[in-house]
């Protein structure tokens, strides 16, 4: 009989503890910073961060937080929020990032459903919690982090300051004894949770294991992924409550990168100012943010060319935006697709080496797609009949994924069992094609597709095209009912400031670019496209607004 051959490597648990301890030892001199409105950046070192995170773990212990307890944050992006990102999971508890832009009703539901026992809240966000705290019986402790006066969520004139008798973060930290020995954790232990702002029904909880985050961080840092390294200067603008700011604060800390947090309510001018002054190399955000930044750079001439990579996702990025940032700003965008349920990374649009010699037009056509699947994720496209479709760039179907950082089940939500297939895949609800090179192109969310006279029209296709018009700032396309064709597209367009735009100009612009039946019958001009709590176009609101608008064309 031969000697045992299999399983001779250590069964080492993949937990965030390993990343934290390694960073603490290696990168003590590196910098972390937070923007403070009207003041210079707050700066400290990784050594300070590590010591404060250990003290924060001492605070959690003193507050009676136990393994598996849900500890919530209601906070802007800051170094304190980063301390919570690490101290909570490393203590064995579950970091629950709350989106303070949700309605009071949704937020109350989420806190109660998760059973949060402690909430760490920025003083500037206090009015949001003040309005609902009586309806959240599981919350036994609230800790206030003083970051400024109330500025979010309160009605004008009705903003309330956090009560002085609530425990305060810095005072608790000061008084606590640091934790020097972290508890031993299993890699399948829950580390964090995040609720998706679903469009139907209640929000659903996604629970990240240590293992999922660990593997996701490694994959995200890869050169062919976000290509992050210790040398990067990362600016965090994606809210830390939105899919863990796309997981980048975990990956950045793992690597010892310089990290700058956007602080309370960062505006395009803050992003440009910080990027220019701090020589930022990496900053992600949703397209609506970059559309606003583009306008500002054009008007005021910031030099943000230090940025080597702008991951852009959350919704489709128009090709015209990628091109503008390359040519006028000198900062390269990388289109990516993912979801809260996917930690969030799914696909990234990088050119393959041999595509670099292709004509420019073809290169942009590739880069405007959502890209090919990340290492670690399996992806297939399945049609209505349940068959996998071919990668021909034309056949459409739902994207289904599986992998070590993809959700297996929502938290305590049996009604959502239909989001998972019998053979172990997650049904994303996104409709896409994949071309023979493997580049995924998102056509729509299932619910946003427009079915007109038996033909599918991709609202994303039409709106990204409209946003290529030089006079257009933003565009969202929705379906309106039609007696003959069932649905027809309606384009909601926001002109760039100071320009005169006629709806007819949009239709003329689209005519040579689109099939006749995909041309919007009507173009309405708006001052702004309504946005969701994470800055995406809110088509639900638009659909509601134009519900009774029957299409004009017969």
Q: Enter the tokens of residue 338.
A: 């993912």
Residue 401: in which H helix or E strand, if any? Answer: strand 397-402
Cα 236 to Cα 99: distance, rounded to the nearest angstrom: 16
Q: Does 89 bind ligand AMP (CB under 6 A)?
A: no
Q: Does 125 bind ligand AMP (CB under 6 A)?
A: no
Cα 111 to Cα 380: distance, rounded to the nearest angstrom: 34
Q: Which is nearer to ligand AMP, 191 or 401 (CB)?
A: 401
Q: Does 370 bind ligand AMP (CB under 6 A)?
A: yes
Q: Does 535 bind ligand AMP (CB under 6 A)?
A: no
Q: Does 340 bind ligand AMP (CB under 6 A)?
A: yes
Least spacing, CB of residue 262 vs ligand AMP, in Å? 18
Residues 186-245 that bind ligand AMP (CB under 6 A): 196, 243
Contact pattern from residue 245 through residue 284 relative to ligand AMP, giving x for each residue in contact according to CB under 6 A and a dash for the rest: ----------------------------------------
Least spacing, CB of residue 554 vs ligand AMP, in Å? 33
> In this structure, are strands 426-434 and 440-445 parallel, antiparallel, or unpaired?
antiparallel
Q: Which stretch binds ligand AMP (CB under 6 A): 102-110, 167-175, 339-347, 487-495?
A: 339-347
Cα 325 to Cα 333: distance, rounded to the nearest angstrom: 7
Give the Cα-Cα-Cα angle 318, 234, 351 (nearest 5 degrees). Answer: 40
Q: Which stretch binds ligand AMP (CB under 6 A): 64-72, 309-317, 469-477, 496-504?
A: 309-317
Do residues 152 and 128 lie in contact, with contact meaning Cβ atoms separated by under 8 Å?
yes
The catalytically annotated residue of 141, 196, 522, 540 is 196
Least spacing, CB of residue 115 vs ligand AMP, in Å? 22
The catalytically annotated residue of 415, 456, 544, 553 is 456
How many Cα atoms sit within 13 Å of 58 on the Cβ side? Answer: 18
Q: Verify whether residue 369 is a known catalytic residue.
A: no
Q: Verify whether residue 456 is a known catalytic residue.
A: yes
Choose among 77, 26, 79: nearest CA to 52: 79
Q: Which stretch binds ligand AMP (CB under 6 A): 162-170, 254-262, 311-319, 467-475?
A: 311-319
**Which of 154, 264, 314, 495 contacts ligand AMP by CB under 6 A?**
314
Cα 235 to Cα 307: distance, rounded to the nearest angstrom: 10
State the greatest distance between any 2 C-alpha atoms of the chain, in Å, as a whole number.
84
Least spacing, CB of residue 365 vs ligand AMP, in Å? 15
Least spacing, CB of residue 374 vs ligand AMP, in Å? 13
What Å distances lie between residue 267 and 101, 113, 151, CA to CA? Answer: 16, 32, 14
Q: Which is nearer to ligand AMP, 51 or 106 (CB)?
A: 106
**Which of 117, 315, 320, 443 contacts ligand AMP by CB under 6 A?**
315
Residues 390-429 that bind ligand AMP (CB under 6 A): 428
Cα 217 to Cα 207: distance, rounded to the nearest angstrom: 16
Q: Enter the tokens of residue 116.
A: 């949060």
Q: What is the DSSP letter of 546?
A: T
Q: Which stretch binds ligand AMP (CB under 6 A): 79-87, 118-126, 148-156, 312-320?
A: 312-320
The catalytically annotated residue of 451, 455, 502, 517 is 451
Q: Does 339 bind ligand AMP (CB under 6 A)?
A: yes
Q: Does 534 bind ligand AMP (CB under 6 A)?
A: yes
Q: Verify whether residue 30 is a known catalytic residue.
A: no
Cα 136 to Cα 532: distance, rounded to the nearest angstrom: 24
Cα 281 to Cα 514: distance, rounded to the nearest angstrom: 37
Angle formed by the axes of helices 16-26 and 210-221, nearest 10°: 50
Cα 215 to Cα 427: distance, rounded to the nearest angstrom: 21
Q: Verify whether residue 21 is a known catalytic residue.
A: no
DSSP codes of every residue in 113-137: HHT--EEEEEGGGHHHHHTTGGG-T
Least spacing, CB of residue 312 vs ligand AMP, in Å? 7
**Which of 335, 469, 488, 539 contacts ligand AMP by CB under 6 A?**
335
User: How far from the centroid of its chain's Cα atoms is residue 284's Cα?
Assistant: 9
Residues carrying an active site annotation: 196, 341, 451, 456
Residues found near ligand AMP in the complex (CB under 6 A): 196, 243, 313-316, 335-340, 344, 370, 428, 430, 442, 445, 534
């Amino acid at each position: 009989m031969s000697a045992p051959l299999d399983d001779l490597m250590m069964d080492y648990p993949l937990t965030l503890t390993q990343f934290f301890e390694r960073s603490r030892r290696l990168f003590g001199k590196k910098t972390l910073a937070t923007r403070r409105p009207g003041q210079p950046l707050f700066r400290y070192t990784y050594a300070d961060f590590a010591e404060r995170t250990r003290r924060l773990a001492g605070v959690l212990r003193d507050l009676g937080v136990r393994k598996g307890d849900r500890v919530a944050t209601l906070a802007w992006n800051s170094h304190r929020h980063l301390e919570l990102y690490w101290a909570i999971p490393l203590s064995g508890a579950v970091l629950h990032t709350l989106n303070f832009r949700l309605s009071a009703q949704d937020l109350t539901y989420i806190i109660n459903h998760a059973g949060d026992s402690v909430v760490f809240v920025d003083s500037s966000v206090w009015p949001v919690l003040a309005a609902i705290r009586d309806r959240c019986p599981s919350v036994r402790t609230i800790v206030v982090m003083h970051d400024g006066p109330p500025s979010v969520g309160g009605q004008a004139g009705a903003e309330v300051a956090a009560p002085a008798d609530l425990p305060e973060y810095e005072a608790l930290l000061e008084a606590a004894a640091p934790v020097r020995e972290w508890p031993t954790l299993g890699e399948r232990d829950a580390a964090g949770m995040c609720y998706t702002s679903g469009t139907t029904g209640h929000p659903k909880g996604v629970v990240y294991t240590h293992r999922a985050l660990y593997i996701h961080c490694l994959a995200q840092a890869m050169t062919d992924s976000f290509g992050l390294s210790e040398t990067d200067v990362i600016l965090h603008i994606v809210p830390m409550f939105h899919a863990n700011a796309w997981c980048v604060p975990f990956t950045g800390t793992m690597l010892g990168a310089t990290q700058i947090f956007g602080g309370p309510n960062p505006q395009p001018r803050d992003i440009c100012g910080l990027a220019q002054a701090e020589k930022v190399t990496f900053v992600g955000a949703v397209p609506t943010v970059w559309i606003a930044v583009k306008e500002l750079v054009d008007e005021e001439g910031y030099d943000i060319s230090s940025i080597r990579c702008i991951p852009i996702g959350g919704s489709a990025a128009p090709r015209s935006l990628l091109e503008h940032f390359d040519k006028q700003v000198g900062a390269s965008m990388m289109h990516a697709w993912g979801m809260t349920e996917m930690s969030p990374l799914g696909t990234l649009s990088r050119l393959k080496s041999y595509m670099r010699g292709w004509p420019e037009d073809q290169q942009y056509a590739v880069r405007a797609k959502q890209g090919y699947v990340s290492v670690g994720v399996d992806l297939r496209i399945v049609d209505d009949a349940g068959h996998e479709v071919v990668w021909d760039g034309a056949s459409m179907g739902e994207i289904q994924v599986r992998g070590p950082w993809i959700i297996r089940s929502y938290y305590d939500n049996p009604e959502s069992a239909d989001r998972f297939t019998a053979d172990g895949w997650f049904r994303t609800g996104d409709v896409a094609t994949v071309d023979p090179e493997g580049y995924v192109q998102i056509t729509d969310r299932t619910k946003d597709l427009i079915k007109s006279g038996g033909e599918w029209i991709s609202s994303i296709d039409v709106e990204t095209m409209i946003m290529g018009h030089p006079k257009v700032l933003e565009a969202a396309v929705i379906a309106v009912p039609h007696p003959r064709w069932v649905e027809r597209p309606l384009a909601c367009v926001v002109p760039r400031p100071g320009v005169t735009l006629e709806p007819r100009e949009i239709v003329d612009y689209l005519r040579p670019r689109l099939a006749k039946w995909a041309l919007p019958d009507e173009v309405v001009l708006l001052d702004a496209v309504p946005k969701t709590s994470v800055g995406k176009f809110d088509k639900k609101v638009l659909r509601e607004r134009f519900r009774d608008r029957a299409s004009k064309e017969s």
